[in-house]
Chain A
Amino acid sequence: MALVHKFLSGTYIFRKCLKPTVASCPILGTRFADYCSSSLQKPVAAPGKNSSQRNTEGDLQGHHQREVALDITSPGEKPEFSFDKAIKDEIKDHCRRLKDDIVNYWRGPEGRPLHEVLMEQAKVVWQFRGKEDLDKWIVTSDKTIGGRSEVFLKMGKNNQSALLYGTLSSEAPKDGESGRSGYCAMISRIPRGPFERKRSYDWSQFNTLYLRVRGDGRPWMVNIREDTDLIQRKNQMYSYFMFTRGGPYWQEVKIPFSKFFFSNQGRIRDAQYQLLLDKISSVGFTLADKVDGPFFLEIDFIGVFTDPAHTEEFAYENSPELNPRLFK
């Protein structure tokens, strides 16, 4: 059923690519509001416009990738770039990706042969073996609303894992309206296709999320956001808790997708439905346990697999007291 859906959406991609609309102007980077997910309040710096400039910025900021802030121009040197060349490179890059996409479409879903995709039981979605793997993630903290928490992401020991560390501070920002504060989050970037088209993950064959982490005993929250392509669902997400043990041993966390509960704008809703896995947009980790102090989380890789022993479809029933309309 997921494959039929893929065929349909594939043809949809074709039609969309042929007539580029004004709404998606990738080169000028005018899609700020569209690109950043709702948990960020400051827009992420436009990727790709001047890739050379971004590289120098990255080197000057040091080894750790800080929270993505607004455009920071390098203090002393002027990186030499030419606007036209950058645009041409960008167009060439996107056209090459489009060509790869079309070729992959004929080879099979995501370029892999069909039998391999159909019979796959365990898939590694995000791994942390190099600096470019860190670019697929965004880190935020409550600095965006005026709080004091800090969070950084860098490669761990021997470039074999990623280390998310920082300090949590639950001091509420003095802006007159926030009563509580203190959160840090690491969210994956939405996967993009050629011409920065939004794509989504299809995990409908799998039923468990697998994480190999090493924490410090703090409880984290794992959030999954669905794709907001057709219907606007920007503030909705599915969450569950991940309890780290602490200690020097690696910990395997397996969370079945049936355990994720639905929440909108940060509050758990009464009407619960299971997480549908065919259009997943991003996965994130949040720490907001109201305890001030430093924290760290080391992640080896994140994958999805099918747990054959897990047959539960959804863990939460709707109650007739809270939702009488569902039971009429």
Chain B
Amino acid sequence: MSWAQAILLARGLSRGWGGICGAALMGPPFSQVSLQVPRGLHCSAAAHSSDLWLVPPPPPPPRGPTRALAPHEELFRQASDGVRDKANFVRAVQAFGQHNVHKRGHVDFIYLALRKMREYGVERDLAVYNLLLDVFPKEVFRPRSIFQSIFIHYPRQQECGIAVLEQMESHGLMPNKETEFLLIQIFGRKSYPMLKFVRMKLWFSRFKNINPFPVPRDLPQDPVDLATLGLRHIEPNLSARVTVYQMPSSRDSEGAADAPEPHIVGIQTPDQQAALARHNPARPIFVEGPFSLWLRDKCVYYHILRADLLPPEEREVEEIPEEWNLYYPMQLDLDYGRSAWDDYEFDIHKVEEGPIFAICMAGAHDQATLAKWIQGLQETNPALAQIPVVFCLAGSTGELLATSSGLEEPPPPPPEGQEEEEDNQQRQQQGQS
């Protein structure tokens, strides 16, 4: 073997080892870009294009219009019969074992199955992953001597096992005892897949409950339930009341003349109700939106009803009369000098914004729907009839619009259709109704 070939082989081997050691570690549950992607997964040791080739490789054959089939893809074709669900996937995986006892090409088959899982909708099913690990022949890849355990025994198979665990990790699945038993049976206790399994157990159990605002994994399909969940998620005050102003009506099969009514769900706390009752009718209040809220992987949009911040001279300071509570003073004016070591406040003026009176989620984002919401709000807030309501509806850019100067610049990428109108007719409507 010439020295060039030896160098290439050594380089390929070392890259392969580095690939295994890198992939066996835990990526964070959100996939960050790992700067050294394990290269050994899909290409063999010597066929790396960035190497210095002594002999230039032959030009690649011209690719035909159709993609070449992966080795065992026909197993997925015949088993599916058009319907892609868990039963068909399981059947395809089991068909592989029946065809050849020696399970030749099981590594490629497992990679293919990992890619196909998303189409069949089983990527979050732990039993399917265990079934996939079951495809490996048992007891063959366990190292039997010290030398075998020092040099990575069957590196391609270990990489494949790590790839299965890595896909489990990226979907947030916790492996169970069956996975552990399978891994020990296939690779032995000192292997890299087993190491990754131990790390997964450790870090997943550490990070299981760190979300202070957990969202259930199975989101409700009904839009009204989803809107209720979203509104309760946004509003920290537990005494808030959720009201459904309009249920979604399904389209009639005869082609009814009415447009389908979108759902309107609103939320308001008693404090907000009181603040709205106290609001000065001379100042307008704004309906702004839509803003986006992500629940797991679903995006819902909400609108808010808010007022501008009062300038400092108009803000009224609430005076509590001294005899309000005879047991203890409600307001203490003690002037103890607090020196710097006791001061936990930040030396910055926090952003202050005007009060928010209500939030709603609706199926449509146009003014007619939101007007219905305002009308519904009027039932619990009669003061709303006297207050002018201004609709500032923009494209969903996710920022609150500027108040005093209007929009300074057009918000970024999606072009927005902004409408802003005084509504005296709104007031008349409210006066009449």
Contacts and interface: CB of A to CB of B under 8 A. Distances in A.
B212 A293 contact: no
B28 interface: yes
Q: Specify which of B30, B210, B347 lies most central, judged by the most chain A CB atoms within 10 Å of its CB.
A: B30
Nearest to A150: B413
Nearest to B214: A243
A229 interface: no
Interface string A30-72: 0000000010000000000000000000000001100000000
Contacts of A294: 292, 299, 396, 398
B155 interface: no
B213 interface: yes
Nearest to A144: B33
A291 interface: yes
Interface stretch (B254-262, B325-333, B399-407, B419-427): B399-407
A305 interface: yes
A246 interface: yes
A150 B293 CA distance: 19
Nearest to B398: A296
A179 B163 CA distance: 11
B236 A321 contact: no
Contacts of B353: 250
A122 B293 contact: no
Given A249-B236, A268-B25, A290-B31, A152 B412 contact: yes
Contact of B399 (A116, A157, A235): A157
Interface in A63-94: 63-64
Q: Specify which of A127, A158, A210, A322 lies most central, judged by the most chain B CB atoms within 10 Å of its CB.
A: A158
B35 A235 contact: yes
Interface residues of A, number: 75
Contact of A301 (B234, B348, B399): B348
Contacts of B356: 248-249
Interface in A230-248: 235, 239, 241, 243, 245-248
A246 B234 contact: yes
A122 B293 CA distance: 31
Contacts of B351: 160-161, 212, 250, 300
Nearest to A183: B33
A316 B26 CA distance: 15
Interface stretch (A6-14, A17-25, A100-108, A213-221): A213-221
B198 to A, nearest CB: 6
B280 to A, nearest CB: 21
Contacts of B341: 119, 121
A30 to B, nearest CB: 24
A150 B39 CA distance: 27
B213 A124 contact: no
Contacts of A169: none
B340 A119 contact: yes
Interface string A287-302: 0111101111010110
B234 A245 contact: yes
A217 B37 contact: no
B398 to A, nearest CB: 3
Contacts of A291: 294, 296-297
B227 to A, nearest CB: 13
Given A157-B400, A216-B294, A268-B25, A177 B412 contact: no
B274 to A, nearest CB: 17
Contacts of A270: 25, 199
Contacts of B25: 267-270
A322 B211 CA distance: 26
A182 B30 CA distance: 10
Contacts, number: 191
Contact of A266 (B32, B291, B404): B32
A239 B29 CA distance: 12
A116 B339 CA distance: 10
A165 B398 contact: yes
Nearest to B35: A265
B233 A248 contact: no
Interface string B334-354: 000001111111111011010
A299 to B, nearest CB: 10
B160 interface: no
A288 B30 contact: yes
Interface residues of B, number: 72
A167 interface: yes
Interface in B259-281: none
Contacts of A300: 350-351
A241 B348 CA distance: 25
A154 B346 CA distance: 24
B36 interface: yes
B228 to A, nearest CB: 14
B252 interface: no
A263 B28 contact: yes
A130 interface: no
A178 interface: yes
B295 A267 contact: no
A319 B297 CA distance: 34
Q: Specify which of A38, A265, A266, A289 lies most central, judged by the most chain B CB atoms within 10 Å of its CB.
A: A266
Contacts of A306: 344
A207 interface: no
Contact of B346 (A142, A266, A305): A305
B146 to A, nearest CB: 17
Contacts of B202: 319, 322
B352 to A, nearest CB: 8
Nearest to B345: A122
A142 B403 CA distance: 34
A64 B66 CA distance: 44
B359 interface: yes
B412 A154 contact: yes
Interface in A308-328: 316, 319, 321-322
B235 interface: yes
A127 B348 contact: yes
- Which 6 A-B residue pairs are closest in the complex by CB-CB distance? A247-B234, A296-B398, A266-B34, A267-B25, A119-B340, A217-B294
12 contacts: A157-B399, A157-B401, A218-B294, A219-B30, A243-B211, A246-B293, A247-B233, A248-B359, A250-B350, A289-B30, A301-B346, A305-B344
Given A219-B30, A265-B34, 6 more contacts: A178-B33, A241-B211, A246-B293, A246-B294, A268-B26, A294-B396
Interface of B: 22, 25-28, 30-37, 39, 41, 170, 195, 198-199, 202-203, 206-207, 210-213, 215, 230, 233-236, 291-297, 299, 302, 304, 306, 339-348, 350-351, 353, 356, 359, 396-404, 408-409, 412-413
